[in-house]
């Protein structure tokens, strides 16, 4: 309930208290809440929770977040990518003007992966 509070401070505390999804249903809820979250710090907490017990088959969920303006979100994407040698690593930057440039190789590899992936 508190993860939906209008205050980003309350949402931050609520998500911090969750630590990580307890099961697959809660994992889906984390991904859904992450999609709706406007505050970067709270998105980072969701991502950190999702990083716990993440599996390689979630690549399609993770890579799009490489362009997020939140440093903690991109840091989590970078840590997730350490699980796979298939994709280039995400070079992290704190400069908002360089985020797209640093994520370019990863996103291009992801586009190619999606083209080649069997339906």
Q: Which pLDDT tens digit goes with each residue over 108-119?
A: 998 998 888 776
**Structure token digits, residue 39:** 């505050």
Per-residue pLDDT, 119: 65
Q: Which pTM was predicted?
A: 0.89
Alpha carbon distance, N-terminus to C-terminus of the chain? 37
Q: Measured between alpha carbons, how far is 6 from 2 in angstroms, rounded to an integer?
A: 9
- Best CA proximity match to 93, nearest among 111, 108, 106, 109: 106
Residues of the chain predicted below pLDDT 50: none
What are the start-end ranges of the H helices in 6-98?
Answer: 8-18, 24-36, 40-51, 59-62, 71-81
Place of tokens 């716990």: 52
Per-residue pLDDT, 115: 87
User: Is residue 22 left, alpha or beta, with left meaning phi > 0 and alpha meaning psi from -120 to 50?
Assistant: alpha
């Amino acid at each position: 309930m508190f993860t939906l509070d209008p205050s980003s401070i309350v949402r931050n505390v609520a998500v911090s208290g969750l630590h990580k999804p307890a099961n697959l249903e809660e994992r889906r809820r984390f991904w859904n809440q992450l999609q709706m979250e406007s505050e970067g710090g709270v998105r980072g907490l969701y991502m950190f929770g999702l990083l716990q017990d993440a599996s390689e088959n979630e690549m399609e969920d993770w890579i799009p977040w490489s362009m997020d303006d939140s440093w903690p979100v991109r840091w989590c994407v970078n840590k997730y990518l350490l699980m796979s040698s298939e994709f280039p690593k995400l070079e992290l930057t704190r400069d908002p003007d360089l985020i797209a440039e640093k994520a370019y190789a990863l996103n291009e590899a992801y586009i190619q992966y999606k083209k080649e992936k069997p339906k």
